[in-house]
Structure 1
């Protein structure tokens, strides 16, 4: 079975949570013996065509128009998310190809796109699936898959924020660092959003955007900060916890679902609470207990059962399509 994803960006050049989740889903199909391709519409980096961990990526524009590329690839199913959803839905309708929508949030544009009635909606959390329950479409829940062995390493010494855009907490990082000049902080340039980059806070190191989070970020991090305005899930938190890195988070519904009982929660606007939580977690005894809790929570989030359900759901679409073709020929 050949599955094609139509998206704006892809790994390893854009490594935000949506792209990382999509790649892991496609890898699961490849591991199950299927063929996975990606057509990108906005990506300028990389070769016109390249293979990343078994998934073949084609850059539209460099290789032709989107419909031409999709026609050439002849997908049995078309996966999409974010702004390419309307285009994938239109292609699917005109070509008779089932469309799979990955649902990463509960925002208004997502609600509009669900009216396109995909053949399958894949929700990244239980809370979003409940929030959008009134949309009567075939559905499964697959939490953003994180394979612990791919992320685990020995933690470092930095208090780290991943993605320096304002909504993720860029300005908060610098304010916390100024209040705690004896603590070393780091800010990792993210894959989306305008980055808040300052060089005037001496105890904040800026780490470039990187596809090697294990080597360049987790191996240097002792505590992860997630003071985000909105996180539908918070994959970075789980990736960090694979190394036993404790997480301090703003209690968004997604972070409460992902980090759960193993996290430390503080309201985004209460900086005193964040200072107190950091001071507590960098103490050796407290860190050791929180680190063990993080590892235990990761074990609870073993992605293999949900990935197996994903593969089965996609394979079922091909079977349904073949059955429709038989009926249409009668």
Structure 2
């Protein structure tokens, strides 16, 4: 099959959960013997400017182009069997798929209004959701569907954990305010704030026990090797990929009571009400001063990481078979 993926942003320029998930799927398709090309059209996003260049990542050609160049590529192609898209590129991608008699696949990463509009307007032949939660939410608005969770390879992430209490992505909606408050209340505990790859990041006005780590593609060396506890006080998460990355090293996870994180971590994380600051302070303190409590929390996290990894491999196979059945 000749497969073309059209995205507003992609690796290596942006490394968020959506890009990591779709790249794992595309790698699986390429490994299965299919021709896969990624075309990035940043002009559909007002906040994104990328150089018009071409790179190769894990054997997949990735080309940044304008919408006019994208249309010319389609017009010059003999046969395109499947078009895959997500987020802001969906309308353009689905139109090109229909005009070139290709099947269209929409990848859904959240329950925002744009995702709903895309499902209604683009009429995908197959919809791939990143969680069961999302598929259940959109069930009445989609036809054929699969669930393919964002992948985490334990072998790539695993390291000897450190001692910092860590927050990844210093945004307001990711809980940077609670992170700052905990650092102020627990001045003898080292905290690590990791700058995320998107959105407005808060990197100033932290107490002296907070270290700021710039955005990094090497989470294993720069983040997990320094982390003893991961905080996830987010207001929303479609899935807890970063929690599973930490869990691969047996790092305990303390999270807001979010369905997306529960789907990733099951009973293996510690769940707290977001507004119960005393409970957050108490858990952080106990995990840093009670070795047996920390070890048990770490063992649960590690076991969950292995379970989800094996489950993901079967999901990849099932999703590839669903895509192949479209031809």
Q: Is this contact kept in 1: 2:127–2:142, CA < 8 A?
A: no
Q: Which residue of 1 aligns with 2:305?
A: 298
Distance 1:112 1:47 in 2: 29
| Aligned partners of 1:151 and 1:214 also within 8 Å | yes
Q: For the residues of structure 1 that align with 2:293 and 2:88, how far apart are their CA atoms? A: 43
Structure 1: runs of 5 or more not aligned: 319-330
Residue aligned with 1:236, SS: helix
When the two structures are superposed, what TM-score results if normalisation uses the length of structure 2? Answer: 0.92
1:278 counterpart residue number: 284
What is the CA-CA distance between 1:35 and the residue it aligns to?
2.4
Show the counterpart of 1:32: 32
- Specify which of 69, 92, 101 is matched with residue 97 of structure 2: 92
The answer for unaligned runs of 5 or more in structure 2 is 43-47
* Deviation (angstroms), 1:12: 2.4
State how many pairs are aligned.
Answer: 317
1:237 lines up with 2:243 in the alignment:
yes
CA contact (8 A) 1:171 1:196 kept: no
Residues 12 and 211 in structure 1, CA contact (< 8 A), matched pair in contact too:
no
* TM superposition outliers: structure 1 runs of 4+ over 6 Å: none
> 1:42-79: CA deviations, max 9, x gaps?
26457700011122110113x96221234446532111
CA distance in 1, matches of 2:166, 2:88: 30
Query: Match for 2:70 among 48, 53, 66?
Result: 66
Which residue in 2 is equivalent to 1:321?
A: none
When the two structures are superposed, what TM-score results if normalisation uses the length of structure 1?
0.91
Structure 1 CA distance, aligned partners of 2:285 and 2:106? 42
Match of 1:212 among 197, 210, 218: 218
Q: For residue 105 of structure 1, report the CA deviation from its aligned partner.
A: 1.2
Partners of 2:190 and 2:164 in 1: CA distance: 5
2:12 alignment partner, SS class: coil
- For residue 17 of structure 1, report the CA deviation from its aligned partner: 0.6
Residue 200 of structure 2 aligns to a residue whose secondary structure is coil
Q: Deviations along 1:67-122, whole A, 9 cap, x unmatched?
A: 12344465321111111111111111222211111111122221111112101100
2:171 pairs, out of 131, 148, 165, with 165
Alignment of 1:1-330 (within 5 A): 1-42=1-42, 44=49, 48-61=53-66, 65-72=69-76, 74-115=79-120, 116-282=122-288, 283-301=290-308, 302=310, 303-318=312-327
Could you tell me whether the CA contact under 8 Å between 2:80 and 2:100 is conserved in 1?
A: no
Residues 107-157 of structure 1, C-alpha deviations (whole Å, 9 max, x = no match): 222111111210110011111111111114110111112221121111111
Could you say which residue in structure 1 is the equivalent of 2:45? none
Q: Secondary structure in 2 aligned to 1:258?
A: helix
- Structure 2 equivalent of residue 326 of structure 1: none
Residues 119 and 142 of structure 2 are in contact (CA less than 8 Å); yes or no, is this contact kept in structure 1?
no
- Kindly state the Cα deviation for residue 237 of structure 1 after the two structures are TM-superposed: 0.7
Greater CA drift, 274-283 or 229-238? 274-283
Cα RMSD of the aligned pairs, angstroms, is 1.7
User: Within 2, Cα distance between the matches of 1:293 and 1:72?
Assistant: 53
CA displacement, residues 15-37 of structure 1 (integer Å, 9 cap, x when unaligned): 11111111111111122122222
